[in-house]
Amino acid sequence: MFSKVLIANRGEIAVRIIRACRDMGLHSVAVHSTVDRNALHVKLADESVCVGGPAARASYLNIPNIISAAEITGAQAIHPGYGFLAENADFAEICQECDLTFVGPSARVIALMGDKAQAKVTARQAEVPLIEGSEGLLEDVDSARALAERIGFPVLLKAAGGGGGKGMRIVRQQGELESAFQMAQNEAKAAFNNGGLYMEQYLENARHIEMQILFDGEGNGLLFPERECSVQRRHQKLIEESPSPGVTPEGRKKLLEYAARIQRAVEYRNAGTIEFLLDRKGDFHFIEMNTRLQVEHGVSEMITGVDIVREQLAIAGGSRIAVEQRGLRVSGHAIEFRINAEDPENGFAPSPGVVHRVHLPAGPWVRVDTLVEPGTEVLPYYDSLIAKLIVWGENRAEAIRRARRALKELSIEGPKTTRSFHLEVLHNSRFLAGDYSTHFIQEEFGL
C-alpha cells in the first residue's frame, strides 16, 4: 500500500479525496494553478505544488508538470478525481510507466470505454440493450444523413471522446443535420481533442438512470442501487437521487444484470458508472460508461454507508474490497443538489466572484461537500460547481423535507447560486410525485 497520494484535481472533489486520505493515514499532496494558491484543497493538504497558470491546459491538464510534482514530493499514487485527466488513458499509462499507482481502472479499460462508440460495441457484445444508432463513428455528414433517414428523426449526435453535454446536438429534421454535425464536431475537437461523432435515436421523455460499480483487483465487488439523474439542464445534471422513484423492482433486477454483464465483459476494476436511458415503455438502453468517480457518488454513499473514495484508494493499493454484494445494506433515500455559481434568474449565467459569508447547513443526515469558505474567490476558469448538498431520509418524503430545511439554512453571499432554483424544484408537483424525465426543467421552468 502506498503512503503518499497526489490529487490531480481541485475544488470540492480534491477536498473530498484529501479527507479520505487523512482518514486512512495517507499523506496528501495538492496541485494547484497560480490563481488557486489560496484554495481550500491547498490549505487542507499536507503538501502542495503549483503546476501552472490559470487556464486548465496550463495546470490541471498539464501532464508533465503533474508527474513532476509527484516525483518531487515522493508521491506514490495519483488520484485524478473527476473531470480534467480522470478519463485520459494516456495519463493513466504514463503514471504506470513512471511507477505511480493510478487510482482508477487500467489505461486499457479507460481507452475502451472512454470511446463512447467503442463502448456501445462492447455493450452490444455483452447483450446489453442499446438505442438504435451507428455501429461506430460516423464517417461524414453524408453517412449521418443516410443513418438518420434509416432510424428516423429525432436523432442525437454525440461526441465519442467525452461527455458532460459537450459535442452533443439533437437533430429533429434533415435540414438541421449538416450545421448540427459541424457544431458538434467542432465542440468535440475543442473539448476532447477528438472530433469523432456517433449517432443514436433520440428518446423523448426518457429518464437518465445510472449504476455505480466498485470492484477490486480480484474481481470482488459491489453493484450499488441505481441513481436517478434526470433533473438536468442542457445535459448537465443538477439533482440526483437514489433509489430512483421511476424504477420498478423488476427494472432494478434488469439494471443489476446489465451492469454485471458490462463489468465482466471488460474486467472492470475500481469505481465506475454505467449510464442508461429508461424509456416510457419501461425498457433500459445503455448509453455510456464513465471510468471514474462521479460527482454524485455521495448519494450512493449515503444510502449504503460505503466510503467509495476510501475503497478506491484501498483497491488501488492492492486491498480486497471491504464489503461484498451480499453484505451491502441499503437504507432510506438520498438526494443531492449541485450548488453552482450560476444565476438561475439570468439563464444560469456563470457568476464568479468573492464569497463574503458562508453558512452551511448541518444537523442529522445532512452533508455538504464544498470548496468555499469566507474569502474564497470563485474563478471563471473552471467549472461552476462550488458545493454539493446531500441529504438522507428514511424515505423520499422525509429526504425532501430535510432538503428544504437544509437549503433554507444554506447561505453563500457573493456569487449567485442555484440554491433558489432547487427550492423551487422541491415544491414542484411533478418532482414531488417522482414523475419526471430529462425534459423536466425545460417543460416546468422553460429553461
The residues carrying an active-site annotation are 292
Cross-strand partners of 101: 77
The Cα 434–Cα 398 span in angstroms is 14
Which amino acid is present at 161? G
3-class SS shares of the chain: helix, strand, coil, % to 5: 35, 25, 35
| Placement of cell 408537483 in the chain | 429
3-state secondary structure of 75: coil
The string of DSSP letters for 126-174 reads TT--B-SB-SS---SHHHHHHHHHHH-SSEEEEETT--TTTT-EEE-SH
List b or e across 268-295, with b for residues whose CB sees 16 or more CB atoms inside 10 angstroms.
Answer: bbbbbbbbbbbbeeeebbbbbbbbbbbb
The Cα 326–Cα 439 span in angstroms is 36
| Placement of cell 442529522 in the chain | 364
Q: Which residues contact 142 (CB under 8 A, 6 or more apart)?
A: none
